Amino acid sequence: MALNPEFIGRTYPAGPSYLVGREKIREFARAVGDSNPAYLDPEAARALGYADVIAPPTFAIVLSLDAANAALFDPELGLDYSRVVHGEQSFAYTRPICAGDELIVTTVIENIRSMAGNDMITTKGIITTVDGDPVATATSMLVSRGEDA
Amino acid sequence: MSVSFDSVAVGTELPPAEYTVNRLTLVKYAGASGDFNTIHWNERIAVEVGLPNVIAHGMLTMAEAVRVVTDWVGDPGAVIEYGVRFTRPVVVANDDQGAVLSVSAKITELLDDRCVKIAITCKSQDQTVLGRAQAVVRLV
């Protein structure tokens, strides 16, 4: 089923804020096997100039994809999530995410297109503090594989 | 530990590394990230949707690949941009070994503000699994 192109440009306001926990960052870092002290040790992070442990560069996906689900699971969009694979991902950081941050994500549907029987949807998650200070953006391109693709 | 902008040039290679991804890694990553898509842990569903086997989360591969950069630069907060294309799935067999990601990287461009652009190559079973994998890092 083709995705509804009328969704291009739609903005989904931020939902409830996400409080970044020190243990959540540690759990994420350990899951990827990364023992960089900036992720695990508050003293090491402070020595680098941060208030507490910082998150690995890809941690922002935990917030951004969750926020994008509001759009992706909209029945009118027509996305069959069981056929979805991740096509592209990029992040741009104003600063690293840090334990203690209280963050919100505004999601914009940047593009929807079809190619070779597959549907592609690009969402941009704009991550800021609850006070509106920019932290990062996460741009995701998901591919919904066509029945014959 | 930090890397000076004055110590690098276009073509400077970062120390390569290998990372192992097995079924336990996938379970841990699913829990830590909240991505419980069944194709990353349920072989029956993965095969039903046309995959050869369970595949790794693309975001897990992306997280492993950038470690070559963050281990080199020391401060992971120095990474100001990072992007990839997921060009080929990383198949994770149900054995003790799993999949091995071989990651290398080199500087491709010197930018303003003591920043450098780094191209990352990530292979599994001798095949590239990430396309256009690039990071921008601010050096001291």
- Domain assignment present for residue A100? The answer is yes
Residue A134 CA: distances (Å) to CA of A17, A104, A124, A139, B48: 14, 10, 14, 15, 42
**Beta-carbon count within 10 A of B23 CB:** 18
Q: Is A140 in a helix, a strand, or coil?
A: strand
Side-chain-side CA neighbours of residue A17 (13 Å): 12
- Domain assignment present for residue A15? The answer is yes
The CATH number of whichever domain residue A132 belongs to comes to 3.10.129.10
The confidence score (pLDDT) of residue A1 equals 55
- Domain assignment present for residue A46? The answer is no
The confidence score (pLDDT) of residue A74 equals 85
The confidence score (pLDDT) of residue B1 equals 66
Question: Mutating which of A24, A79, A89 best tests the B interface, going by the most B Cβ atoms within 10 A?
Answer: A89
| Helix H or strand E encompassing B69 | helix B67-73
- Is the Cβ pair B84, A89 closer than 8 Å? yes
Domain, as residue range, for A78: 5-21+57-144
Q: How many domains does chain A have?
A: 1
- Domain assignment present for residue A67? The answer is yes
Looking at chain A from residue 28 to 57, which residues have their Cβ under 8 Å from any Cβ of chain B? 28, 30-34, 36, 38-39, 48, 50, 54, 56-57
- Domain assignment present for residue A86? The answer is yes
Stretches in chain A below the pLDDT threshold 50: 149
Give bridge partners of residue A91 from the DSSP assignment: A138, B82
**Gap from A59 CA to chain B (nearest CA, Å):** 8
- Domain assignment present for residue A27? The answer is no
The confidence score (pLDDT) of residue A146 equals 79
Nearest to A36 among B31, B49, B70 (CB): B70
Give me the count of residues in chain B: 140
Structure tokens at B19: 């990372």
Nearest to B77 among A84, A91, A95 (CB): A95
The confidence score (pLDDT) of residue A101 equals 98
- Domain assignment present for residue A127? The answer is yes
- Domain assignment present for residue A44? The answer is no
User: pTM of the prediction?
Assistant: 0.95
Structure tokens at A145: 């594989």
The confidence score (pLDDT) of residue A148 equals 60
Tracing tokens 């990062």 back to the chain, one arrives at A136
Stretches in chain B below the pLDDT threshold 50: none
> What's the one-letter identity of residue A53?
V
The confidence score (pLDDT) of residue A134 equals 98
Q: What is the CATH number of domain B5-20+58-138?
A: 3.10.129.10
